[in-house]
Amino acid sequence: MSTINNILNIVLPPLSLVLLPIYMLPYLFFKLFIYVKSLFYKENMAGKVVLITGAASGLGEQLAYEYARQGARLSLVDIKKENLVEVADMATSLGSPDVIIIGADVSKVQDSKQFVDETINYFGQFSDAVNHLVNNAGVGGDPRLIEDCSDVTKYTSIMDTNFWGAIHGTLQAIPHLKNSKGRIIVIASYTGWFPLPRLSFYNASKAAVISFFETLRLELGWCIGITIVTPGFLKTKMALRAYEYEASLRIIPMGSTFECAKEIVKSACRGNMYVTNPSWVKVMFPFKMFYPELVDWAQQHVFGLLPKSSKNGNLHILKNNQVLKEE
């Protein structure tokens, strides 16, 4: 096996440089065809059933309103059920023919089974009981450096909600989504592929979400569509709290939840695999891929993370493969 790997190490790099330009032109034509097709065809959501988690505020609330404008029937889920009442009333006034609200904690398997079952039972008279599942529920946690996190158990709720919360509901809904040839929309974050300092656990949870749903897309094939959303910082209570807690994050401009929700629903109805809003965030991806050292250096400067010499601190210097300490 080592011989095969050695051969591949030698052959594949130059071969890829030859093949990439050759495949680029056909791929661009394919993307153009998909784009033109999307201009003339998009899924009509009128009368269809959409299940949205974390719908009581922020992006989830705006997604409920946007789907309501499309005439969709809504199943709104949030851990704070009382906050869903006003959202449901607004969604009805915007055009949704039927709205139910369900109080549930997405991080719990039993609660996830409950809100999927309640949705199916309530909208069971329709052949397509669930058409879109929107995994939006999420938490952020307080921004801080990793070395300052002495008790990591305080941050397990981030993974429980952001990652497992999306998994639990998805696994319960997959059989119904297969029947309706429906779609999963999962709200990740651009920090899943462009991690920001002081948000390590949040970054990790969103990276796990992206990886899981890309794998799920491979396994499901064309049975269920999957749209992965990687928004930038949006003006939500969670983001405002992070801004208030950590001043260095304020350099990042906030996007609009209204505009983001509008783009998500439009892209999901067109069958897009990915959505990023604000769109300028996508520019960061090639920089992260091709110039990782530059990106890390820039972030360290912007967020004030460059090491500072201290008379009282320990200065570690690597010289001739030896670590020297200055007390």
- What is the per-residue pLDDT across 177-228, written as a single tens digit (0 to 9) for each? 999 999 999 999 999 999 999 899 999 999 999 999 999 999 998 899 999 9
CA distance 72 to 270: 16
With bands split at pLDDT 50, 70 and 90, how would you rate the model's confidence at 237? Answer: confident
CA distance 255 to 288: 21
> Is the CB of residue 261 less than 8 Å from the CB of residue 236?
no
Token pair recorded at residue 76: 């709104």
Q: Quickly tell me which residue has 């009509």 as its tokens.
A: 44
Does a cis peptide bond (omega within 30 degrees of 0) precede residue 143? no
Which residues are CB-contacts of 283 (< 8 A; sequence separation ≥ 6)? none
Token pair recorded at residue 296: 């890390």
Q: What is the pLDDT of residue 314?
A: 43
> Is the CB of residue 177 less than 8 Å from the CB of residue 133?
yes
With bands split at pLDDT 50, 70 and 90, how would you rate the model's confidence at 126? Answer: low
Strands 225-229, 183-187: pairing kind:
parallel
Judged on CB neighbours under 10 Å (0-12, 13-18, 19+), 149 is middle
Instruction: Give 25-45 pLDDT, tens digit per residue.
Output: 898 988 888 888 877 888 999
Positions marked active-site? 202
Q: What is the pLDDT of residue 249?
A: 77
